[in-house]
Structure 1
Amino acid sequence: MIKLERETKPDYLSDEKVFELTESFKATKKSVWNHDHIKIPLLRSSHSKCAYCECPLTSASNYMEVEHFEDKNHYPEKVVLWENLLPSCKKCNGAKGQHDVIGDPIINPYVEDPKNHLSMRLYRFRAKSDKGQSTIEVTQLNSSDRSVFCRYEIGEKISEMIDLGFERWNEYLVRNNTRSKNKLVNLVQGLLNECQPTSSYSASTATNLLTDPKFIELMSLMREADIVSEELDDLILKASTLVLDYV
């Protein structure tokens, strides 16, 4: 989970439209929020990922649902209130269900930074606060059969790429030419691209990469050789904003 920035309320949700849709829901219980004018800007705001688990929402097997942070059963007057809507995968939305976030608060990533409430250990989130613990349990962020396994697969691939990075570093030391340097830099750039806010499971990926002693050593060696570009530094800076405490 990462901090998200909410887009400006779409013109579609005028005061009149909000009233109309809200009254329609109260009368019929229909999914009045299931509209592209709502779903598309929500999806953009989360980089096409679930606001909770960060799984991609662009595949047929993992489509987006409009999630009501303050649930529609307890708070029907907020069913199309823009500030109350989040993009979610079916599993996180289903797990949260009718949970009352007023009585038992969880993290709203559009309002606060999850880093204040969550840390990480071996691809699993750990709580730094009661709100963090509630979030993990309510949205099942540590579900082994989906979230943890996906984080693990990406993490193992990153470990393999770090080892390959050292092979390319040694090749660069021997050849000391542009081709070997570019091969190394391109690999590191590819690793860092997986740790950007737009990438799936980026909180986990950024945390595991930027706290990995071997990657830290590799970057130190590259800096000493003066082959860390401004572009790489910019990617590192963006990724570092997502890093959770590693415990």
Structure 2
Amino acid sequence: MMKLTRPKRPGYLDNYKKWGREYNEKRKEGLKPKWHKKIKQWEQLKRDLAKLTLDHCSFCDSYPLVAKNKQTVEHFKPRSKYPKLTYVWHNLFLSCETCQKAKGDNFNKKLLKPDAIEYDFNRYFIMNFKTGKIEVNIRASQEEQERAKITIAMYGLNHFDRPKARSDYYKWLKNQIRKQKIKINQDKETLFYRFMFFFKLNLLSTEAQINRYLTTKGPPFGFF
């Protein structure tokens, strides 16, 4: 889960409070309104959220969100429990279907939010490159470790074939670098699972240093 820097609310969501109240009233009446019908600029909203994540999923960082991993809009605090927040800009995230279905209508106040000021992947998590699993950072505080566990579980970050996909991708990327088919400084924003690489890559200054590190020294973080 990459850290996101969210821009100010777009003007087409200026009526978010009014729309939220109306949505809440309809829910109280037992209706199931289609929330996105209120937003005439629905496609623009998806484009704006995609711009925020560079077309990656906000939670698992899969890329690009097309075909079998269809692009969806996720409510961090679910509409079913927080109907008045349905149109709040800071509650909307671009998501893949896998993450959205895993979370469903669940919510926990300790769930990590990728656009929170204090959020940083390496503060809460470490990457196990042998297994492909996202693990809790044992150097984090007990509170931070609990939040990391909740986030991994709620978005199913280690469920299904996700760990294998990350491990396979890491091996593939190293091979592409050896063949000089990928230049990591130029292509890093189009990588899958950017959180696996950015911490260490940001400390290395040249393309040669980065390529040598990835292809000869193993995992970027040196944990394993």
TM-score, length of structure 1 as denominator length: 0.68
Answer whether contact 2:19 2:87 (CA < 8 A) is retained: no
Match of 2:101 among 76, 94, 107: 94
Structure 2 CA distance, aligned partners of 1:67 and 1:204?
23
- Secondary structure, counterpart of 1:153 in structure 2: helix
Please state how far the C-alpha of 1:61 moved relative to its aligned partner.
1.8
* 1:88 Cα offset (Å): 0.7
Displacement of 1:191: 3.5
Aligned to 2:82: 75
Cα 1:117–1:39 shift into 2, 3 Å: same
Q: Report the AA paired with residue 24 of structure 1.
A: Y
1:197-234 superposed Cα distances (whole Å, 9 cap, x missing partner): 44321112446x85xxxxxxxx9xxx9xxxx5xxx48x
What's the CA shift for 1:244? 5.9
Q: Which one of the candidate residues 20, 29, 32 is aligned to 1:29?
A: 32
> 1:162: how far off?
5.1
After alignment, is 52-61 or 66-75 more displaced?
52-61
1: CA distance between counterparts of 2:108 and 2:67?
29
CA distance in 2, matches of 1:244, 1:22: 47
Look up the match of 1:116.
123
Q: CA deviation at 1:6?
A: 1.0
CA contact (8 A) 1:7 1:42 kept: no
What number of residue pairs does the alignment pair up?
Answer: 195
Runs of 4+ in 1 over 6 A off after TM superposition: none
| Cα separation, 2, equivalents of 1:245 and 1:67 | 33
**Residues 33, 79 of structure 1: 8 Å contact kept:** no
Q: Which runs of 5+ in 1 are unaligned?
A: 165-186, 211-218, 237-242
| Cα deviations by residue, 1:134-162 (Å, 9 ceiling, x for unpaired) | 111110111242x2232122211123245
**Unpaired segments ≥5 residues, structure 2:** 138-144, 212-219
3-state SS, counterpart of residue 157 of structure 2: coil
Instruction: Output the amino acid matched with 1:30.
Output: P
**In the alignment, does 2:8 pair up with 1:8?**
yes
Partner residue of 2:215?
Answer: none
Relative to its length, the structure with more helix (as a share) is 1
- Equivalences for residues 53-202 of structure 1 within 5 A: 53-102=60-109, 105-111=110-116, 112-122=119-129, 123-128=132-137, 129-145=145-161, 147-161=162-176, 163-164=178-179, 187=180, 190-194=183-187, 196-202=188-194
Does the 8 Å contact 1:154/1:205 carry over to 2? no
Residue 189 and residue 56 in structure 1: after superposition, are their counterparts in 2 closer, same or farther (change >3 A)? closer
**Separation in 2, partners of 1:139, 1:26:** 29
Report the Cα distance in structure 1 between the residues aligned to 2:158 and 2:83, rounded to whole angstroms.
Answer: 29
Does the C-alpha gap of structure 1 residues 188 and 37 become closer, same or farther in structure 2, counting only changes over 3 Å?
closer
What amino acid is the match of 1:107? L
Bigger mean CA deviation after superposition, 88-97 or 112-121: 112-121
Question: CA separation of 1:91/1:81 partners in 2, compared to 1, >3 Å: closer, same or farther?
Answer: same
Q: CA RMSD in A?
A: 3.0
CA, structure 1 residues 78+125, in 2 after alignment: closer, same or farther (shift >3 Å)?
Answer: same
* Shift in CA distance, 79/152, structure 1 to aligned 2, threshold 3 Å: same
TM-score for both structures, normalised by structure 2: 0.74
- Distance across 2 between alignment mates of 1:245 and 1:12: 45
Q: What fraction of aligned residue pairs are identical, expressed as a percent?
A: 22
